[in-house]
Structure 1
Amino acid sequence: MLKESTNLCTFLYLLLISLYSEWFVKCNTNLNKIELIKLSEYDNLLPSLEHFLMELKDMDHIECTMACLMNKLVCAGVFYNNLTKFCKLPTNHPNESMVYDTQPGWEFWKNIGCDPGWLYHSEHCYLLTHRKTSWHDAQLQCESNGAFLAEIKSAKENSWITEKLMDTNMFVLQESQGLPDFTEQVWIGANDIDNEDSFIWSETNSTLNFSNWNQGEPNDEYGEDCLAIIHKTGKWNDLPCSSNLSYICEKRK
Structure 2
Amino acid sequence: MMLYFKEIICLLTLLAISTVPVPCMSGIPVMTLTRDPTYSELLPTHTRYQITSLQNISLMDSVFGCLLRYPSCVGILHNANIRLSFLLMCYLNERSVGRTRKVPGWIFLSDLNVCLKGWVPFSGHCYLHVKNETDWKDAKDICNRSDAYLLQTETHEEALWVTEAFLRPVNVVECTTWDSCSSWIGANDFSQEGLYSWNHGSDQFNATFWYPDQPNNYAGDQDCAALTRSAQLNDKECSFKYEFVCERDLFI
Q: Secondary structure at the match of 1:141?
A: helix
- Paired residue for 2:198? 201
- Paired residue for 2:232? 235
- Paired residue for 2:76? 28
2:187 and 2:157 mapped to 1: Cα distance? 18
Change (3 A) 1:14 1:120: closer
CA RMSD of aligned residues (A): 3.5
- Structure 1 residue 124 displacement after superposition: 0.5
- Structure 1 residue 196 displacement after superposition: 0.9
Contact 1:13 1:25 in 2 (8 A): no
1:16 aligns with 2:17: no
In terms of fraction of residues, the more strand-rich structure is 1
Change (3 A) 1:181 1:13: farther
Change (3 A) 1:34 1:187: same
- Aligned-partner residue type, residue 141 of structure 1: I
Unaligned ranges ≥5, structure 1:
36-110
- Structure 1 residue 230 displacement after superposition: 0.7
- Paired residue for 1:148? 149
2:127 and 2:208 mapped to 1: Cα distance? 19
- Structure 1 residue 234 displacement after superposition: 1.0
Change (3 A) 1:146 1:197: same
Query: How many pairs were matched up?
Result: 165
TM alignment of 1:1-253, pairs within 5 A: 2=37, 11-12=59-60, 16=64, 27-29=75-77, 30=92, 31-34=108-111, 111=113, 113-166=114-167, 170-171=168-169, 179-181=174-176, 183=178, 184-222=181-219, 223-231=221-229, 233-253=230-250
Change (3 A) 1:34 1:198: same
- Structure 1 residue 26 displacement after superposition: 5.1
- Aligned-partner residue type, residue 179 of structure 1: E
- Structure 1 residue 130 displacement after superposition: 1.1
Instruction: Name the TM-score, length of structure 2 as normaliser.
Output: 0.56
1:4 and 1:138 mapped to 2: Cα distance? 33
1:186 and 1:145 mapped to 2: Cα distance? 18
- Structure 1 residue 215 displacement after superposition: 1.1
2:125 and 2:224 mapped to 1: Cα distance? 23
Contact 1:227 1:237 in 2 (8 A): yes
Instruction: Name the TM-score, length of structure 1 as normaliser.
Output: 0.56
Contact 2:129 2:246 in 1 (8 A): yes
Which has more radius of gyration? 1
Q: Deviations along 1:47-81, whole A, 9 cap, x unmatched?
A: xxxxxxxxxxxxxxxxxxxxxxxxxxxxxxxxxxx
Contact 2:73 2:123 in 1 (8 A): no
Contact 2:150 2:246 in 1 (8 A): yes
- Paired residue for 2:87? none
